[in-house]
Amino acid sequence: MKALSHYLPRRNWMADVPMKVLAGPLLIIMILSMMILPLPPFALDLLFTFNIALAVMVLLVSMFTQKPLDFAAFPAVLLFTTLLRLSLNVASTRVVLMEGHQGGDAAGKVIEAFGQFLVGGNFAVGLVVFMILVIINFMVITKGAGRIAEVGARFMLDAMPGKQMAIDADLNAGLIGEDEARTRRADVSQEADFYGSMDGASKFVRGDAMAGLVIMVVNIIGGLLIGMLQHDMSFGSAARTYVLLTIGDGLVAQIPALVISTAAGVTVSRVTTDQDVGQQMISQLFVNPQVMVLAAGVMGLLGLVPGMPNLVFLIFTALLGGLAWWLMRQKERQLVEEETRAAPPPAPEAPEASWEDVQLVDTLGLEVGHRLIPMVDAQQQGELLGRIKSVRKKFAQEVGFLPPVVHIRDNLELSPNAYTLSLKGAEIGRAEAFPGRWLAIDPGQVSGELQGTPTQDPAFGLPAVWIDTQQREHAQVYGYTVVDASTVVATHLNHLLHRHAAEMLGRQEVQKLLDKLGEEQKGLVEEVVPKAISLTVLQRILQALLEEEVSIRDLRTILDALAEHAPQQQDPGELTAAVRLALGRAITQQWFAGHETLNVIGLDAQLEQVLSQAMNGSGALEPGLADTLMQQAEQAVQRHEASGEPPVLVVQHALRPVLARFLRRRLRHLVVMSQAEIPDDRTLRVTTLIGGQ
């Protein structure tokens, strides 16, 4: 193996690492090495010049970005530039204290230029200028930028749930795809991280300003002591030499720090639009000619005051007046262009009708009045969109198929607070909702009355009252069920989805269910559809189950039952009865979860015999018997529900289909089960009789 290793090419791991990956570590190592290793004056000149150029570049980048995430690396850049300045301060301090006695250029030409040219060689003026720059940076720019970043981070975190719900609502409504939704979620998270990082990074700049003050004091005191004690310089000569070098060193560091702080303030204080900061300022500051006229008037009045620099004020008066005149001309030209553009064009020849004029009907639709638009507007973070998504998801989990997407539109013909729900173009529900108010629903055992707008719960018809926010706690104390407007609409939609589930189940949905089951039970699916029954017959069976609120989630059991009975029986009604027997345990669990003893409604033995004879004879109920049966069933259901039991009627297997179709015409909430559907391990007890009195 050792011999073979000599023939294998040696891998150069450095060649596999991109330079972009090494740039950060190398920069940190260089910055830290400057604090330890002595640098010659020429190297200091290069690094100080690089620091100034880098600060200018950061400021320009922050000015030209249109949103904060375009410069998401700014917190890290802020940290690196701060460390670079501090390292240069340490390196320059070493050179100033060691070589400062040799002259003004001992620490490099850049420090000498800032100490001589910018402050005229006067160290008193230099101290004042340096202190002013530090105060501006520390007290004004950095403090303000830090506060803006702190508040921005707090607001971004508070707004994150609403933004996430808006993205989910757009995805649920089909306005965006999964990839775009994932990108927008990542942008929201990155924006919150950016403001949080800026809040912390701004502390580095404030610390840098304080460090500049400390370094200046140390350099002055240390320079005086070294100059007088080690190099036998007089106090005046040492002060003049070392103070000017210290001031130059401080200015060459504080000016880039001021530029970087300004860039931080620009980045966090901007409002996200499709324009950069310069475009925003020009398009919003110099746009109103009335402002320019008033400003020109004020400047003109000040220019007429004796003792004022009249010429300067009058020049600005003329400039502002000329700008106002130019803006007025621009607006007049725009008005003329708009009027010309708005002139009615010649009536075109009516085109021939085409298939594009045919508008397909939405399976599910929601139309709202204009006051309910904020509830369904993603830009206003409407809560209803997220609720609708949750309703569809819960429906799919409970019932067994995905309902169609709800298409939402505004309808100015509706009353302001009204909304309608439609299925295949036909209205199936209508009610009113009041955004900003709460619906207090009376479950039947309240202890007080509320002031508000009386109404009914649109989903279940219970008495209710629309109340203001101030009465919400009182309503809960009284025993009311209190929900907001979005929950009212979502609950109404959920109720109607369950009620009309059979109508929403089309051939496409049935085929998708078969395709999903076919991923695991391909043989079973092929045995039943289309060998035993057609897709249309399966659709009718599933619709019959949904009509009586039986979940079709257990499609495997349904197909097992059809595979067993379909070869001998093709009638959809008989096949539905066979499927119900196979789903008997699930149906029982749906209405009697956790109950070993089932308290149900039953038929009087004599009435049951009469009904059996009628079914075996003519197959139809006599009108008198039908009316009596319906009245007694309504009374029995009321008595049974008053005791808190589910409205379940258990009859003979042969009578179940007929009684279910007949009684559910008026008693939609009544469940009719067959005795054969009850599992053997459950105890059946009839607590209410129909026809027994």
Beta carbons of 277 and 270 less than 8 angstroms apart: yes
Residue 108: pLDDT over 80: no
For 429, the 3-state DSSP assignment is: strand
Angstrom distance (rounded) from CA 119 to CA 111? 12
For 117, the 3-state DSSP assignment is: coil
pLDDT given for residue 1 in this prediction: 39
**pLDDT tens profile 539-556:** 999 999 999 889 999 999
**pLDDT tens profile 112-132:** 666 666 556 566 676 677 777
Residue 359: pLDDT over 80: no
**Strand arrangement of the beta sheet that strand 481-484 belongs to:** 453-456, 463-467, 438-441, 481-484
Angstrom distance (rounded) from CA 369 to CA 162? 23
Angstrom distance (rounded) from CA 649 to CA 669? 11
Of the candidates 359, 376, 358, the residue with the CA atom closest to the CA atom of residue 421 = 376
pLDDT given for residue 501 in this prediction: 93
Single-letter amino acid code for the residue at 319: L
- Please name the residues in contact with 391: beta carbons below 8 A apart, sequence gap of 6 or more: 490, 493, 494, 497
Angstrom distance (rounded) from CA 51 to CA 612? 99
Angstrom distance (rounded) from CA 339 to CA 78? 51
pLDDT given for residue 14 in this prediction: 44
Q: Which residue has the higher pLDDT, 383 or 431?
A: 431
Angstrom distance (rounded) from CA 64 to CA 273? 12
pLDDT given for residue 423 in this prediction: 92
Cα distances (angstroms) measured from residue 547 to each of 281, 512, 543, 661 = 63, 20, 6, 10
pLDDT given for residue 315 in this prediction: 83
pLDDT given for residue 406 in this prediction: 92
For 435-453, give the DSSP string.
TTSEEEE--S--SS---SE
**pLDDT tens profile 476-508:** 888 888 899 999 999 999 999 999 999 999 899
**pLDDT tens profile 256-279:** 777 777 777 777 666 555 566 666
pLDDT given for residue 575 in this prediction: 92
Structure tokens at 669: 């909430």
pLDDT given for residue 152 in this prediction: 65
CATH 2.30.40.10 fits 364-502, yes or no: no
For 346-394, give the DSSP string.
PPPPPPPP-GGG--PPPSEEEEE-GGGHHHH-GGGT-HHHHHHHHHHHH
Domain boundaries, the chain: 43-282, 286-331, 364-502, 593-693
Of the candidates 612, 615, 637, the residue with the CA atom closest to the CA atom of residue 689 = 637
Angstrom distance (rounded) from CA 556 to CA 572? 18
Residue 354: pLDDT over 80: no
Residue 578: pLDDT over 70: yes
Angstrom distance (rounded) from CA 623 to CA 619? 13
Q: Do domains 364-502 and 593-693 have the same CATH topology?
A: no
Give domain 593-693's CATH architecture.
Answer: 3-Layer(aba) Sandwich (3.40)
Residue 17: pLDDT over 60: no
pLDDT band of 561, cuts 50, 70, 90:
very high
- Report the percent of the chain where pLDDT is more than 90: 17
pLDDT band of 329, cuts 50, 70, 90:
confident
**pLDDT tens profile 197-217:** 776 666 666 676 677 777 777
pLDDT given for residue 201 in this prediction: 66
* pLDDT, mean over the chain: 79
Of the candidates 56, 52, 314, 268, the residue with the CA atom closest to the CA atom of residue 142 = 268
Four-point Cα dihedral 476, 478, 479, 481, nearest 10: -40
Of the candidates 218, 90, 207, the residue with the CA atom closest to the CA atom of residue 137 = 207
Beta carbons of 463 and 442 less than 8 angstroms apart: yes
